[in-house]
A and B are shown apart, each in its own frame.
Chain A
Amino acid sequence: MARLDAGKLLDDVLAAAAGTASVGVDSITDFAKDYAQDIAEYSALIAKGAAPGGWIDEEDLPGWTKSLKTMVREFARMVAALIVVAVEKIINAVLSVIRTAIEGVIGAGRLAFLGGG
């Protein structure tokens, strides 16, 4: 039976976590930049429409304001949801490294009886 190299396992775990986290952070950052630009453009369009002579009537303004608020609220909500997915991917990448290391010691496929895969 092979021995488990704890030092190598730790290095592999850290590398897997860092690699997965880096991809996750990049995609969330891109999403956030794109979203922030949408908020800026949307608020500018509303401001222009609500200005004197604009196409937004006074009675319709609350509807537009509510819509803008929803866009801002959903921004925070979406970033939080994407972080949850990224965290899940990091945890599973780490577990996968541990699983591979243990299978290297006890033999491939033997963890299957525990329901893994």
Chain B
Amino acid sequence: MTCRLLKRISVLTLTLMVLAACTVRLAPEHEQAIVDGLQALSSETETLFVSVREGTKTVDYASKRKDVYDKLIGKAQGLMVLVDVRPEPKPALTRWFGSSTADNITKDNSSGASLWQDIKSLDVPTDDQLKWYIDEVERMRTADSKVDLPAEAMAAFGKPIRRALKNAIVYEMALER
């Protein structure tokens, strides 16, 4: 009886010691180069939006803005490479969300849609925010090259572009532990 109790206490103590010596990682390490890159991209994006706040004319697209769009897209692609090469922890919990098991459990019977269907997984979101940013800048570039755009259109294009960058910055800064 005493022996069993001692064994249990020893196991509990050892488990506590091992646990206490560990650090849990569910998200990647904070990388200042990525945050700096995102902040620089944000500042250059804001400069573009200040210059087009009154609207745009197609006649000066090629001379004034084409290079700016290209540079923004190029810088975002460069940042995606930095994000892609950073090691990512793949904990079981985050793999489960986004799996077909999670989809089945959270499925809405009436619509057949799953809560997690569109989220896909809890992978690091920075990469997808940059992809979204690039898609939106490309959409704006195409529109700018085709037709004259009013100030309201600039405000509308600015919403998803700024949001994608803000999302990436918020997440990357949250990784600073």
Contacts and interface: CB of A to CB of B under 8 A. Distances in A.
Given A42-B160, A81-B125, A92 B177 contact: yes
A91 interface: yes
Q: Interface size for chain A: under 10, 10 to 19, 20 to 34, or 35 or more residues?
A: 35 or more
B167 A85 contact: no
- Most chain A CB atoms below 10 A, which of B16, B17, B24: B17
A85 B125 contact: no
A55 B152 contact: yes
Interface in A51-104: 55-56, 60, 63-64, 67, 70-71, 73-74, 76-78, 80-82, 84-89, 91-92, 95, 98-99, 101-102
Contact of B167 (A48, A49, A74, A114): A74
B18 A78 contact: no
Interface stretch (B37-45, B76-84, B128-136): B128-136
A8 to B, nearest CB: 15
Nearest to A69: B118
Contacts of B27: 81, 84-85, 88
A21 interface: no
B24 A116 contact: no
A89 B155 CA distance: 37
A87 B149 contact: no
Contact of A46 (B94, B156, B164, B177): B156
B105 interface: no
Interface residues of B, number: 43
A71 B21 contact: no
Given A67-B139, A92-B23, A92-B24, A77 B125 contact: yes
A81 B22 CA distance: 22
Nearest to A88: B26
A27 interface: yes
B20 A116 contact: yes
Given A85-B175, A88-B27, A95 B156 contact: no
A65 B129 CA distance: 18
Given A45-B156, A55-B150, A92-B24, 9 more contacts: A31-B170, A49-B152, A77-B118, A77-B125, A84-B27, A88-B27, A92-B177, A95-B19, A114-B17
Interface of B: 16-27, 93-94, 97, 118-119, 122, 124-125, 128-129, 132, 135-136, 139, 143, 149-150, 152-153, 155-156, 159-160, 163-164, 167, 170-171, 174-175, 177
Q: Which 9 A-B pairs have the closest CB atoms?
A: A116-B21, A114-B21, A99-B20, A42-B159, A88-B26, A45-B156, A98-B20, A111-B21, A91-B24
